[in-house]
A and B are shown apart, each in its own frame.
Chain A
Amino acid sequence: MCDQTFLAITFGPCDNCSQNKPLMNIYLKNEPINYCSLCVELMACQGLAKGETTNTLKAESESLKAKLEEERAKLHDVELHQVAEKIDALGQFVMKTRRTLKGHGNKVLCMDWCRDKRRIVSSSQDGKVIVWDAYTTNKEHAVTMPCTWVMACAYAPSGCAVACGGLDNKCSVYPLSLDKNENLAAKKKSVAMHTNYLSSCSFTNSDMQILTSSGDGTCALWDVESGQLLQSFHGHSADVLSLDLAPSETGNTFVSGGCDKKANVWDMRSGQNVQSFETHESDINNVKYYPSGDAFATGSDDATCRLYDLRADREVAIYSKDSIIFGASSVDFSLSGRLLFAGYNDYTINVWDVLKGTRVAILFGHENRVSTVRVSPDGTAFCSGSWDNTLRVSAYLRSSGESELRNILYNTV
């Protein structure tokens, strides 16, 4: 007696073409479906075609990128530090911490200067946003945010408001009241809404617009009064960690950097990505324009800072050392652009000669990661915030041996 094999076939309307045919019972994404054999084959072919298209597109993109690099390299006739050999080397700079601001109960994550050159706003993991007169070290205002991890804060150009946000995915604006007793939280205005954490925020030249960057991979421009989205900027393929507005009066661009290792320059009017740079080996934590607006610097987890020039359309300098192995979290330029201040995850601040590429100072003092470094609006000092809960304002202490023409006349310190 021979075995008989029975094959049970269902017969019925195909889920796809609706024709009555013998059906194949298959699973798509764990869901059972019943397709006829023709539809199954078509589906398989489409899948194949799709895969092929993506691959060819990828190949095209890669070859174009390579061609772009070739074009950029053609005009690279000399290195910046070679041209800079003809200028004098800078001596070692002795920086002194002149103010230490204590008051946050947890890591300081962000800070910003007021245009009056002495006030600052800082935000912390403890959920607090504090406005200080850094010159007197007095705390002038304090707000407790509903969520902790306030990763971004910014001072309004008028000095009359501050913006902040973080894990709440929002950017909120608080008008600063002269009345000390007034509850700032009551006047809070929710402006930006992202779908992931807010990494950075900045007012444009006005109290009325805010530019934000987010872990959702986008940047956005908002109207403060109405909360309306004016323009959004898509192009990063991962979290955007930082942005900076171009310094010019006629400027209409900003630069952003993110976890996709890219630094993108954007046109604020059209929302277009007008220039893109990808040479870092890890996340770009911070971006800052060179004071002339023709270049910008980046600080990255690959332990380097780099300078990119917009006219040359390429990276023009790398600031690194064998002994610096921890990521750079924050960068800023001195007023002339000759010095680059960079805060690192190894608790130090390194000061670089932008043109020659050498390091001219290293500051110890913080007891945990430096999360933010900003030079004051008139360039007289820089403020650093750290995971050790403090902020420090430091300046260049000219040694008594040196003298300058003006000093002879005015006999200053």
Chain B
Amino acid sequence: MAQPSSCAQSSNGVADESPNMLVYRKMEDIIARMQDEKNGIPIRTVKSFLSKIPSVFSGSDIVQWMQKNLNIEDQVEALHLGTLMAAHGYFFPISDHVLTLKEDGTFYRFQTPYFWPSNCWEPENTDYAVYLCKRTMQNKARLELADLCAESLARLQRAFARKWEFIFMQAEAQAKVDKKRDKIERKILDSQERAFWDVHRPVPGCVNTTEADIKKSSRMKQPHKTRKSVYGLQNDIRSHSPTHTVTPEVKEPTEDELHDQIQHCQEQLDRHRLKMSKVAESLLSFAEQYLEYDPFFTTPEPSNPWISDDVTSWELEACKEAGQQRVKRWAFCFDEVMKDPVGREQFLKFLESEFSSENLRFWLAVQELKKRPIREVPTRVQEIWEEFLAPGAPSAINVDSRSYDKTTQNIKDPGRYAFQDAQEHIYKLMKSDSYSRFIRSSAYQELLQAKKKVQPQNRPRHTHASLC
């Protein structure tokens, strides 16, 4: 059997990756720039009382670099992004388990690429136990386990009681190897190892940045890539043979799917498109027209309930009388009248005066039909047919012959869309004919000129004016 490819290529040539990898790559690009010799953050060794602190830079160094090199105007934003990068473990404060970025003289260090999250680490608790055990063997006061670590160690000792000898041996072996290292190198590696565990076993209260969206996790579980052991313990899946890799998630399209794609493209080619300039004008004018109805631009009357803790505007909206602002909207387009229950009511009244209300009643009946449970549909279809379309119907509507014929066919096997053609025809009729007369009608104009709603008297700090 052929070896499955490790990742599929998308049309722009970039390998398909899980969404997490996309973000890791972007952060790693930033890190690479930060570590650049010429334009990066200056890394230095700081002399402290009895020793040297190798390979550090300060929090404010980071923030300044980010503002300068990443186009970030706002300091708060730079701090936020920096904190996220620290939380993912790309750099870390050398004397704190909590991975945040502070804009001051606190010292930070870069994480070694071995420990980067893009390596798909999923370290086991056995590894964590080895790590904590190893720490107890390094008997220097300042490396004493913090309370939390000691607690974790105790818990793991209970959990791995039977394996403990093995864990202890591993820890001893690791500690031996570490002792042989150069002092400075040890300092750096120790801090990096600790930062790694701060990411994968975060302090309670800190965000665990390794948590994934479960919807995407099926694509992120790449067993051939996941690394479960930091110290090369036996459970590491990486030791498995590469021929047992899981097939990639992206499936090759089938012949049928390709035929569908081709057909779809061919249909799309014939589509009528508008010029961008026209479309842009339309978007602009829509936004402008509705700006006065958008509470983010125009304060609702009398106030935004969320800001003022006063629900009057909601109460006003719920009552049957429509204020001037609401009535004005009906003139924007036919859909606005039809969307507003009060608008529909007024339009119906107007049509009654013109003796053409059966059109609107038919349209409303069909809308209602589509909202019913499927069980009720056949009966309702029959009722609508009898009322509006059958020969001798009491509220006969006028539809073109084509729609009429189609509808006659449809009601033989009644479905929710039995009257679709007739409904569309009637809608167009109302829109092009009755609607424009409605807007020009005296009834509508009167509503438009109606007095503005007057404030109730007992509201303090309010003056009210009535506009005629």
A interface residue numbers (CB < 8 A to B): 50, 53-54, 57-58, 60-62, 64-65, 67-68, 71-72, 75-80, 83-84, 87, 93, 96, 98-99, 116-118, 135, 149, 151, 167, 197, 199, 204-209, 215, 223-226, 228, 230, 235, 237-239, 241, 248-250, 259, 261, 269, 273, 275-276, 281-283, 290-292, 294-295, 301-303, 309, 311-314, 316, 321-323, 325-327, 334-339, 345-348, 354-355, 362, 364, 367-368, 378-381, 387, 393, 395-398, 404, 406-407, 409-413
Task: List residues of chain A with CB within 8 A of the CB of B301.
Answer: 406, 410
Judged by a CB distance under 8 angstroms, whether B269 is at the interface is yes
Judged by a CB distance under 8 angstroms, whether B286 is at the interface is yes
Task: List residues of chain A with CB within 8 A of the CB of B112.
Answer: none
Judged by a CB distance under 8 angstroms, whether B116 is at the interface is no
Judged by a CB distance under 8 angstroms, whether B244 is at the interface is no
Instruction: Contact check, A76 vs B373: say whether CB atoms are below 8 A apart.
Output: no
Other-chain contact of B265, A65, A78, A378 (Cβ < 8 Å): A65
Task: List residues of chain A with CB within 8 A of the CB of B462.
Answer: 410-411
Instruction: Contact check, A326 vs B23: say whether CB atoms are below 8 A apart.
Output: yes
Q: How far is the CB of A32 from chain B (nearest CB, A)?
A: 15
Task: List residues of chain B with CB within 8 A of the CB of A295.
Answer: 283
Main secondary structure of the interface of A (DSSP, over half): loop
Task: List residues of chain A with CB within 8 A of the CB of B314.
Answer: 116-118, 378
Cα(A67)–Cα(B57), bound, Å: 53
Task: List residues of chain A with CB within 8 A of the CB of B214.
Answer: 149, 151, 167, 197
Judged by a CB distance under 8 angstroms, whether B161 is at the interface is no
Task: List residues of chain B with CB within 8 A of the CB of A83.
Answer: 277, 280-281, 284
Q: With A60-B262, A249-B339 known to touch, is A404 a contact of B299 (CB < 8 Å)? A: yes
**Closest B residue by C-beta to A327:** B19
Instruction: Contact check, A235 vs B306: say whether CB atoms are below 8 A apart.
Output: no
Q: With A68-B268, A93-B296, A228-B374 known to touch, is A413 a contact of B308 (CB < 8 Å)? A: yes
CB-defined A-B contacts under 8 Å, sample of 29: A61-B261, A64-B261, A68-B268, A71-B273, A96-B307, A151-B214, A167-B214, A204-B371, A226-B373, A230-B416, A238-B249, A250-B335, A259-B216, A276-B268, A292-B286, A313-B271, A316-B276, A322-B70, A325-B27, A336-B296, A338-B291, A347-B84, A379-B293, A393-B306, A398-B299, A409-B465, A410-B301, A410-B462, A411-B463
Cα(A292)–Cα(B372), bound, Å: 26
Q: How far is the CB of A194 from chain B (nearest CB, A)?
A: 13
Instruction: Contact check, B258 vs A338: say whether CB atoms are below 8 A apart.
Output: no
* Top-5 shortest CB links A-B: A206-B371, A225-B373, A336-B294, A301-B19, A64-B265
Instruction: Contact check, A225 vs B374: say whether CB atoms are below 8 A apart.
Output: yes
Instruction: Contact check, B307 vs A208: say whether CB atoms are below 8 A apart.
Output: no
Main secondary structure of the interface of B (DSSP, over half): helix
Instruction: Contact check, A224 vs B298: say whether CB atoms are below 8 A apart.
Output: no
Q: How far is the CB of B22 from chain A (nearest CB, A)?
A: 6
Cα(A50)–Cα(B374), bound, Å: 44
Q: How far is the CB of A315 from chain B (nearest CB, A)?
A: 11
Instruction: Contact check, B215 vs A241: say whether CB atoms are below 8 A apart.
Output: yes
Residues of B in contact (CB 8 Å), total 103
Instruction: Contact check, B207 vs A249: say whether CB atoms are below 8 A apart.
Output: no
Judged by a CB distance under 8 angstroms, whether B38 is at the interface is no
Instruction: Contact check, B19 vs A334: say whether CB atoms are below 8 A apart.
Output: no
Judged by a CB distance under 8 angstroms, whether B47 is at the interface is no
Judged by a CB distance under 8 angstroms, whether B52 is at the interface is no
Judged by a CB distance under 8 angstroms, whether B304 is at the interface is yes
**Closest A residue by C-beta to B260:** A235
Q: With A312-B274, A323-B81, A379-B296 known to touch, is A364 a contact of B76 (CB < 8 Å)? A: yes
Instruction: Contact check, A336 vs B291: say whether CB atoms are below 8 A apart.
Output: yes
Other-chain contact of A410, B374, B417, B455 (Cβ < 8 Å): B455
**Closest B residue by C-beta to A29:** B1
Task: List residues of chain B with CB within 8 A of the CB of A397.
Answer: 307
Task: List residues of chain B with CB within 8 A of the CB of A96.
Answer: 307
